[in-house]
């Protein structure tokens, strides 16, 4: 039986049964209503899929934009029984969401799984179960103004030297733009941290991340932060707290820097600016380890306490597995699609996609263990403090202690 016909049959049964929950009723009452929480960027694309789902099934679908702290707001609302039926977010949320009892495993067939990038499926797998339907993958890359710098630098030292020369010549104002801000952004910094010898979590024998092996508590983390400090405001001046997610892209599109260390979510606006650019992996420190960005996966999750869990399962497995939906999401936010057919359809018109994926080959899938919820705030603040001149050793030691105190 085709999924659409099966869904209509399921909906009919639910209506006849008069299932409980908001928006549910018997055949004479209002139709069931699915609620999806999402960020503003992807809301239009999801609304298209949701409207199509509603037309096919007779189920009303409402998309709600949550502009800030989506994960935190979802956990709070779900535990109070007031959350949505579905939520879209990054895969490193999974451990925290499962630990808090807020999402259910997703029921995809082996045939459906085979249509996705295996790395994307790995990202949404936790404790051997699939917890989300992936729709995009991404990682940090080096975005370079090719008119100012025709050839990609091979090392971070070469990048900094080139950037300083451009500033000295009055051609740019900043050596590079790596988003940080006053409270840091360790996600963007992570490739530099790994090249300098640091790591986030070790792995167990089975390859899963081990929260007991906290890399930022090891001596290598102090050594890495010493290199980061040398790039900071008291050193080379390449890293600055004044550069954040709010202005990093603007510095690049206004030609005030030749280098932007960020991801494919920047491409749409850079394309509009007219700046000629190229994409390459983040260069490592000379003599250092590879610069390994986190590979992130965006996915759709079914809320455990949602009012219409069966319909939510049907929505994510019937619609997020469709090429046209994945392509629409890519058009809204040009990250490489996780659905293989969608990637094949769009990559011919966007050479950047292959370059992002190539850069991601030397990266590592971002841990989805619950401990990930504890790392961002302490490490971001440590990054900002060291960039501003704080002593690397005591700063990273204090951050590691704060993280360890929260890991359960």
- What is the distance between the alpha carbons of residues 187 and 179, in angstroms, rounded to a whole number? 9
Q: What is the 3-state secondary structure (H, E, C) of 100-132?
A: CCCEECCCCCHHHHCCECHHHHHHCEECCEECC
Domains of the chain and CATH, by start: 3-136+297-354 (3.40.190.10), 141-292+369-406 (3.40.190.10)
- By CB neighbour count within 10 A (0-12 exposed, 13-18 middle, 19+ buried), where does 278 fall? middle
147-181 pLDDT, tens digit per residue, is 999 999 999 999 999 999 999 999 999 999 999 99
HEC-encoded secondary structure of 357-403: HHHHCCCEECCCCHHHHHCHHHHHHHHHHHHCCCCHHHHHHHHHHHH
Q: CA 106 → CA 134, 316, 372, distances in Å? A: 11, 8, 21
Mean pLDDT of 371-377: 93
**Which band of pLDDT confidence, cut at 50, 70 and 90, is reported for residue 375?**
very high
The count of C-alpha atoms lying within 13 angstroms of the C-alpha of 216, restricted to the half-sphere facing its C-beta, is 28
pLDDT tens digit sequence for 305-344: 999 999 999 989 988 899 998 998 898 888 999 999 999 9
- Name which residue leads in pLDDT, 223 or 325: 223
pLDDT tens-digit readout, 263-319: 999 998 999 999 999 999 999 999 999 999 999 999 999 999 999 999 999 989 988
Q: Quick one: pLDDT band at residue 29, thresholds 50, 70, 90?
A: low
């Amino acid at each position: 039986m085709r999924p659409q016909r099966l869904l209509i049959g399921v909906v009919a049964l639910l209506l006849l049964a008069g299932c409980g929950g908001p928006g549910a009723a018997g055949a004479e009452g209002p139709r069931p209503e699915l609620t999806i929480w999402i960020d503003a960027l992807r809301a239009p694309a999801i609304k298209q899929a949701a409207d199509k789902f509603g037309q096919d099934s007779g189920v009303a679908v409402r998309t709600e934009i949550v502009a800030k702290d989506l994960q935190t707001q979802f956990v709070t609302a779900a535990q109070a029984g007031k959350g949505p039926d579905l939520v879209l977010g990054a895969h490193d949320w999974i451990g925290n969401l499962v630990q808090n009892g807020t999402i259910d495993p997703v029921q995809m067939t082996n045939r459906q799984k085979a249509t996705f990038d295996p790395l994307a499926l790995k990202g949404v797998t936790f404790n051997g179960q699939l917890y989300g339907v992936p729709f995009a993958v991404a990682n940090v890359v080096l975005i370079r103004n090719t008119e100012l710098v025709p050839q990609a630098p091979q090392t971070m030292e070469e990048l900094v030297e080139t950037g300083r020369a451009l500033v000295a010549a009055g051609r740019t104002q900043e050596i590079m733009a790596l988003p940080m801000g006053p409270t840091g952004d360790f996600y963007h910094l992570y490739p530099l941290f790994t090249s300098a010898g640091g790591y986030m979590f070790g792995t167990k024998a089975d390859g899963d991340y081990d929260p007991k092996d906290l890399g930022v508590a090891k001596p290598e983390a102090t050594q890495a932060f010493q290199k980061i400090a040398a790039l900071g405001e008291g050193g080379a001046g390449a890293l600055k707290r004044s550069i954040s997610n709010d202005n990093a892209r603007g510095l690049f599109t206004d030609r005030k820097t030749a280098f932007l260390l960020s991801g494919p979510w920047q491409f749409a606006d850079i394309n509009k600016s007219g700046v000629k650019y190229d994409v390459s992996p983040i260069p490592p420190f000379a003599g250092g380890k590879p610069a390994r960005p986190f590979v992130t996966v965006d996915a759709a999750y079914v809320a455990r306490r949602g009012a219409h869990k069966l319909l939510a399962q049907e929505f994510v497995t019937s619609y997020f597995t469709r090429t046209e939906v994945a392509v629409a999401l890519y058009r809204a936010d040009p990250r490489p699609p996780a659905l293989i057919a969608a990637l094949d359809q769009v990559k011919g018109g966007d050479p950047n996609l292959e370059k992002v994926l190539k850069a991601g080959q030397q990266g590592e899938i971002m841990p989805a263990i619950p401990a990930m919820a504890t790392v961002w705030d302490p490490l971001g603040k440590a990054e900002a403090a060291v960039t501003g001149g704080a002593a690397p050793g005591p700063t990273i030691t204090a951050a590691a202690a704060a993280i360890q105190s929260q890991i359960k």
